[in-house]
Amino acid sequence: MSNPSNATDARPAITTLSEDELAFRDAVYDFAQGEIKPLTQKMDEHAELDKSLLPKLFEMGLMGVESPEKYGGAGGSFFMACLAVEQIGRVDGSVSVLVDVQNTLVTNAFIRWGSEEIKSKYLPKLAREWVGAYALSESTSGSDAFALKLRAEDKGDKWVLNGSKLWITNGKEAGVFIVFANMNPSAGYKGITAFIVEKDFKGFTVGKKEDKLGIRASSTTELLFENCEVPKGNILGEVGKGYKIAIETLNEGRIGIGAQMVGIAQGAYDAAKAYVQSREQFGKPIASFQGVQFQLAEMRVQLEAARLMVYNAARLKDAGQPFIEEAAMAKLFSSRAAEKIASMGIDLFGGNGFTREYPAEKFWRDAKIGQIYEGTSNMQLNTIAKMELTES
């Protein structure tokens, strides 16, 4: 595969995969086909993750891809975590986002911002048994991420949290939550602090689960804090520096969502390609008609462009190079491409594409969220424009 240059500053877009990465990618896809695909329709219909999957995801090492081996993780790269998210997304968007949040947001944040004591306590659990969740959004705090109303009070020997969170992925399954609250509202965003909240902490409750259009088996929940008691040492990073953790972690998480969108788009494309080669009209497969061929070609181009942008952003992150603009572009483009490819897939399935007997409509429903969560498309455009206009 060629390595096109970045038009902005000529940094290389490193897109080729090593032998280890190829083997890992293929192993994850085989796992997804064998263990997840048979459950996909049932999970979607019941809007619930099959409980048998979680132990298998941990056993496969997919819940701690980047976590160092000394903490029980796989010791892989951020790029490999994105490969896992992509390959699972080819089969099921719900399981894909569970793995994505676990790796690119929660584990990533613990690795980067946790003290040695915090890492030793939580990373082994996250790699082997606990699902994690990242709790930033509130009813009045979406794109305006720092308009937080969840309050934290210093009670000397503990912190006490009061308020609520909304739209929290993995809320039902999670054993530990990274929760952002403001302990000094008068200081604005500089009062925001990241707290580590375990599911059984006094005063903490997982609230209602949302009934969603897509990624239905992924739990999206409300979190309630009523005098929730958090140990004094359960701070991620520094007091008052939660805004920095939130911004920088989400910059990385957007690449993970881009990988999820590439996976969903690939799944939609694969399904459509197989269908048009088997579906016959006028005595021959519809894949033989030029109009259908052109639609497949358009889908393939969009898919390849999205994958290259996501891989490039992930490689830049792993290389320690600037990647924020590339991450925003990758999420923006891949989410648009996934919805377009999935929609075209429904068209190619014809009437069958509009039924739940075939996979086309689910890929479209799962793709739509990509333009909304972890930063809407408008917020990505805002980031890109700001960075372009402030370049020297």
The whole-angstrom separation of Cα 110 and Cα 248 is 13
Q: Please check whether residue 305 is in contact with residue 332, taking contact to mean a CB–CB distance below 8 angstroms.
A: no
- In contact, 206 and 199? CB cutoff 8 Å: yes
d(CA 370, CA 300): 19
Contact 339, 304 (CB under 8 A): no
Is residue 294 classed as helix, strand or coil in its secondary structure?
helix
- For residue 281, count other CB atoms closer than 10 A to its CB: 11
Query: Any idea how long the chain is?
Result: 392
Closest alpha carbon to 263 in 91, 33, 97, 86: 86
| 250 φ, ψ (degrees, to nearest 5) | -65, -35
d(C-alpha 163, C-alpha 169), whole Å: 18
d(CA 288, CA 388): 44
Q: Residue 236 carries which side chain, given as an amino acid letter?
A: L
Structure-token pair, residue 365:
């429903």
- The structure tokens listed for 85 are 């998210």
Q: Yes or no: say if 49 and 95 are a contact pair by the CB < 8 Å rule.
A: yes
Q: Is-catalytic flag, 86?
A: no
The single residue of 238, 374, 388, 391 carrying the catalytic annotation is 374
Helices (H), 114-171: 116-128
3-state secondary structure 66-106: CCCHHHCCCCCCHHHHHHHHHHHHCCCHHHHHHHHHHHHHH
8 A C-beta contact, residue 78 and residue 314: yes
Dihedral over Cα of 283, 289, 295, 299: its sign: positive
Catalytic residues: 374
